[in-house]
Amino acid sequence: MNDLILQPVILMCLLSFMMMVWMYATRIPAAKENEKKGIDLQDLSHPSKLGGVFPSKVERVADNYNHLFEQPTVFYAISFIIWALNMTDNVYLTCAWIYFVIRLIHSLFQATLNLVWIRFSLFIFSWLVLALMIFRLSYNVFI
């Protein structure tokens, strides 16, 4: 049972990979279009200069890709600690799967519709699930 906690972790990694593919599938054509308009991409080499250069539908995918390297890193750490301590149980496993599903839905919403309140709600809900994992693990380890 302990190794089952790795399944949602692996799927989060696959989600990051798929968002990277999607990001470059939208960004490269948009970059080529900007070059045709006379924009020198080298002048945009720092991320702070990219804002507004690409269409919103391109930036949303890139933003989501970046977001997958923020909060999910805590998920990875907690999941690996649970796995390393051989503490996987139904509660941790359910939380890990819920976390993955929420982040998948969050990615799809951000990259497509980008409905801010839905995205924000998904973000908060994912933190609540992650917090449950963190506090439960903390209790199990320290108490």
**Which sign does the torsion angle of CA 27, 29, 34, 39 carry?**
positive
Token output for 35? 């070059």
Cα 55 to Cα 27, 31, 51, 66, distances in angstroms: 9, 10, 9, 17
Provide mean pLDDT across the span 11-36.
96
Q: What are the pLDDT digits (tens) for 9-19?
A: 999 999 999 99
Provide the CATH number for the domain around residue 17. 1.20.120.550
Nearest to 1 by CA among 83, 96, 75: 83
Confidence of residue 47 (pLDDT cuts 50, 70, 90): confident
Q: What percent of the chain has pLDDT above 90?
A: 87
How far apart (Å, rounded) are the C-alpha atoms in residues 97 and 69? Answer: 18
Token output for 37? 């308009």
Q: What angle do CA 135, 136, 138 make, to 5 degrees?
A: 60
Provide mean pLDDT across the span 116-127.
97
The reported pTM is 0.93
| Model confidence at 106: pLDDT above 90 | yes
Mean pLDDT across the chain, nearest whole number?
95
Provide mean pLDDT across the span 108-135.
97
Q: What is the dihedral of CA 94, 98, 99, 104, to 10 degrees?
A: 140
> Which amino acid is residue 14, in one-letter code?
L
Whole domain around residue 135: which residue ranges?
Answer: 2-142
At 43 the pLDDT is 81
How far apart (Å, rounded) are the C-alpha atoms in residues 3 and 86? Answer: 9
At 61 the pLDDT is 96
- As for how many domains the chain has, the answer is 1
At 50 the pLDDT is 75
How far apart (Å, rounded) are the C-alpha atoms in residues 66 and 91? Answer: 29
Provide mean pLDDT across the span 125-140.
98
Provide mean pLDDT across the span 115-122.
96
